[in-house]
């Protein structure tokens, strides 16, 4: 079964053709990073307009690269939640029109579910159940994947997401956008023990995260040094900050694995590309006798292939929509389309 996956939840316009949820026949991404770099972050109105300009060409290229026209596609899958509402609406409305015109089923896909499904593209042998750490600019969740469309959140951030914490701290350090990516690169040459930073936890909720205090601590450190005329070692600070965030993520993740008895651990989302996070999880899983899965770097960020992968399993579960499909800025990952 060949599914056309369409993604427009933030600042990437993406489309791909995926066969049977595992085989990528094409994967096209049009990034807006150079334009948003001028403003130091994503500007929602600009993102929506660029999606409108790019989506026709991106979908056409995805179909051509897959060697199939629209007639060779069995269904159209699209990200409908969560994300920037204006950006989501571009993809949703385009997919609805395409589905109606071609007479193909329309499959609504949750953005975080599709990030998790990116692992199926890298590891065709991976099947539920497994435990997944979903880390991105807007979300940080520990999710039990009981089935392809059956998910339970064990823990989540109480304030900033890990990606947001990276981006805001990077900006305070004077690191250019995209901050989290650049901070990760700069941290590779720094000393992670140079600065003492806190590892916050949430009382009574051992799987939940809180990054706002860590972020504020780092920003205050930077401001105080500036007021005293001191020069900070940015690679060292970046490495120390990255280590603190990764320590928090891995501490809770392995505690959840221990308490649930999970033997298969996966990671997903844009921050799953973080070098230290990938190395730490790989190493610690080996020590603990756990199997570790992580998407290829090309599937860590937003892309259409992950939408096509999850779309296949949503279709098998009967989760299809009609012309009344709407976009949602927020939606729990546990909720399948059509559930009250």
How many Cα atoms within 13 Å fall on the side-chain side of residue 232? 26
Both structure tokens of 240: 């120390």
Mean pLDDT of all residues in 254-273: 98
Burial class (CB in 10 A: 0-12, 13-18, 19+), 228: exposed
Query: For residue 62, what pLDDT band results from cuts at 50, 70 and 90?
Result: very high
Q: For residue 338, is pLDDT > 90?
A: no
**Residue range 70-93, pLDDT digits in tens:** 999 999 999 999 999 999 999 999
Residue 215 lies in a domain: yes
Residue 129 Cα distances to 31, 126, 146, 179, 265, angstroms: 33, 9, 5, 34, 10
Looking at the fold, whether 309 and 287 belong to one and the same domain comes out as: no
**Residue range 8-30, pLDDT digits in tens:** 999 999 999 999 999 999 999 99
Residue 339 lies in a domain: no
Looking at the fold, whether 239 and 275 belong to one and the same domain comes out as: yes
Angle 179-187/234-260 helices, nearest 10 degrees?
A: 100
Residue 324 lies in a domain: no
Both structure tokens of 322: 């009609």
Mean pLDDT of the chain: 97
Other CB atoms closer than 10 Å to residue 247's CB: what's the count?
A: 16
Mean pLDDT of all residues in 210-226: 96
Does the global pTM surpass 0.75?
A: yes
3-state DSSP: the chain helix, strand, coil percent, rounded to 5?
Answer: 45, 20, 35
Looking at the fold, whether 140 and 190 belong to one and the same domain comes out as: yes
Predicted local confidence at residue 303, as pLDDT = 98
DSSP label at 302? S
Predicted local confidence at residue 2, as pLDDT = 98
Looking at the fold, whether 33 and 158 belong to one and the same domain comes out as: no
Structural domain of 92: 2-116+299-316
Predicted local confidence at residue 339, as pLDDT = 82
Predicted local confidence at residue 232, as pLDDT = 96
Q: Token pair 């990200």 is at which residue?
A: 79
Residue 217 lies in a domain: yes
Mean pLDDT of all residues in 49-68: 98
Least confident of 113-122, 128-137, 319-328, 331-340: 331-340
Mean pLDDT of all residues in 44-55: 97
Looking at the fold, whether 142 and 288 belong to one and the same domain comes out as: yes
Domain count, the chain: 2
Mean pLDDT of all residues in 275-283: 98
- What backbone torsions phi and psi does residue 197 show, to the nearest 5 degrees? -125, 150
Q: For residue 286, is pLDDT > 70?
A: yes
> Do 46 and 33 form a contact (C-beta atoms < 8 A)?
no
Question: Is the Cα torsion angle 336, 337, 339, 340 positive or negative in sign?
Answer: positive
In 148-285 the beta strands, taken as DSSP E runs, fall at 150-156, 264-268
CATH number of 33's domain:
3.30.420.40
Residue 322 lies in a domain: no
Q: For residue 166, is pLDDT > 70?
A: yes
> Do 96 and 107 form a contact (C-beta atoms < 8 A)?
no
Both structure tokens of 215: 């972020």
Looking at the fold, whether 150 and 292 belong to one and the same domain comes out as: yes
Looking at the fold, whether 283 and 158 belong to one and the same domain comes out as: yes
In the chain the beta strands, taken as DSSP E runs, fall at 2-7, 12-19, 23-31, 75-81, 106-110, 130-135, 140-147, 150-156, 264-268, 291-293
Predicted local confidence at residue 340, as pLDDT = 56
């Amino acid at each position: 079964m060949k599914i056309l996956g369409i993604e427009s939840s933030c600042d990437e316009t993406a489309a791909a053709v995926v066969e049977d949820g595992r085989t990528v026949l094409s994967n096209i991404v049009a990034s807006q990073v150079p334009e948003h770099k001028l403003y130091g972050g994503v500007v929602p109105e600009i993102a929506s307009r660029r999606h409108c300009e790019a989506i026709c060409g991106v979908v056409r290229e995805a179909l051509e690269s897959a060697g199939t026209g629209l007639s060779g596609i069995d269904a159209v899958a699209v990200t409908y939640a969560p994300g920037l509402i204006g950006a989501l609406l571009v993809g949703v409305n385009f997919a609805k029109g395409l589905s109606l015109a071609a007479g193909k089923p329309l499959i609504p896909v949750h953005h975080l579910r599709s990030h998790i499904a990116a692992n199926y593209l890298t590891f065709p042998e991976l099947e539920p159940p497994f435990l997944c750490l979903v880390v991105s600019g807007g979300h940080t969740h520990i999710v039990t994947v009981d089935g392809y469309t059956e998910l339970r959140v064990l823990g989540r951030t109480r304030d900033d997401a890990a990606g947001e914490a990276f981006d805001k701290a990077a900006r305070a350090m004077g690191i250019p956008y995209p901050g989290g990516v650049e901070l990760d690169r700069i941290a590779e040459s720094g000393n992670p023990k140079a600065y003492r930073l806190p590892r916050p936890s949430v009382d009574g909720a051992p799987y939940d995260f809180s990054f706002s205090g860590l972020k504020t601590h780092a920003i205050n450190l930077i401001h105080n040094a500036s007021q005293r005329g001191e020069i900070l070692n940015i690679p060292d600070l970046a490495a120390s900050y990255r280590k603190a965030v990764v320590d928090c993520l891995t501490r809770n993740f392995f505690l959840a694995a221990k308490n649930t008895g999970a033997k298969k651990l996966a990671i997903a989302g844009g921050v799953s590309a973080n070098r230290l996070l990938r190395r730490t999880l790989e190493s610690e899983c080996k020590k603990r006798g756990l199997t570790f899965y992580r998407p290829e770097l090309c599937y860590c960020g937003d892309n259409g292939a992950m939408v096509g992968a999850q779309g296949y399993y949503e279709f098998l579960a009967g989760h299809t929509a009609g012309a009344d499909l709407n976009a949602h800025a927020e939606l729990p990952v546990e909720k399948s389309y059509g559930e009250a």
